[in-house]
Amino acid sequence: MREKRASTRQRLLALAFASLSGLLTLSIVLFACISTGVIPLGATNTHAAPGTVTPSPTPEPTPIPPSVLTVMGGAPPIDAKAAYLLDIDTGNVLDDQNAEQPLPMASTTKIMTALVVIEAANLKKEATVSPDIPQYVFQHNGSNAKLMPGDTLTINDLLYALMLPSGDDAAIVLARAVAGSSDAFVGMMNRFALRHHLFQTHFINPDGLTYYDANGNPLPGHYSSARDLARLTAYALSNPLFAKIVGTRQYDLAWSPKHGAYHWANTNDLFNLYPATTGVKTGFTNEAGYCLVFSATRDHHHLVGTVLFSSNTDTNQRFRDAKTLLEWGFGLPMLPAY
């Protein structure tokens, strides 16, 4: 009987010892899980909100700043008050000289005029030259395409009259044809500028002429920057028709019952000075001086630039400035895409 009681006592002690060992082992495992933040498979995280998972945050990669301005000892000296040179292929800015300052830009205004017309109008639509337009050009001492009152031309032909001989008369005809009035068209130009973040740009007319108050002072509100003009032109050149027009050296329009015969030559003499030139637009007023927005392609590499107020007396200085920048820019090593 005593042996049976002893045997029973031994079995109870063994069971108690096994239970204590199991509890001890479980405690160790749970402690380790809590310490490391790991929850065993099938267990529940009582600290998390019901039905949610809290993943570890993914670390953001450290951005590598892109090359924006090439540092090669600086661009060569030029006479322009402001200049900008942009690599269209990579988006890199090769030269920036006072390029954010708003300045008068004369007929380089017509880059915006042409682009708004191309994007808004039916190019086959016709427009008639009003009798008041020659007087407008004469009053403001503007350049013209010698459009004759009463002639009816297509929007497409008027774009050549606008961009090649820099026709202020063509600018007014186009503005009225597209928007009903010059003022309404200027509103379209300014909205386009804002939409494309050209914040140093504003227009008061579609041609770039200087308007004066009763005391002979230039009216404010018509300006752009070298940077804005280059960026606008880079966008415009992506339009095949715009690129075709500004790359045309001369344009002949044969006589028809609706209009006389016209011959328009491009005012951009950079074509003669720098053979790789592909466009774009000249400009001049007394306030703006001689200006130029230009583009060139060499070895399938495309640069666009602006020079504002290269001179107030020498029409060719803007072309020399542009050539200097292009030769320097094409000589730089190709940068990674911006």
Active site residues: 107, 110, 166
- Locate 337 and state its tokens: 């895409």
Return the number of other C-beta atoms located less than 10 Å from residue 135's C-beta.
11
- 3-class secondary structure, 331: coil
Residue ranges of E strands in 32-124: 82-87, 93-97
* φ and ψ at residue 221, rounded to 5 degrees: 105, 0
Mapped to the 3 state alphabet, what secondary structure does 203-259 carry? CCCCCCCCCECCCCCECCCCEECHHHHHHHHHHHCCCHHHHHHHCCCEEEECCECCE
Q: Distance between CA 295 and CA 108 in Å, rounded? A: 13
Mapped to the 3 state alphabet, what secondary structure does 102-137 carry? CECCHHHHHHHHHHHHHHHCCCCCEEECCCCHHHHH
List Cβ neighbours of 145 (8 Å cut-off, separation of 6 or more): 161, 162, 164, 165, 167, 169, 170, 262, 264
Compute the C-alpha angle 139/142/146, nearest 5°: 100
Q: Please check if 281 is assigned to a binding site.
A: yes
- Locate 291 and state its tokens: 């200006």
Contact assessment for residue 129 and residue 226, using Cβ atoms and an 8 Å cutoff: no
Q: In this structure, what DSSP letter does residue 5 have?
A: H
Q: Distance between CA 250 and CA 263 in Å, rounded? A: 7
Output the known binding site for substrate: 281
Output the known binding site: 281
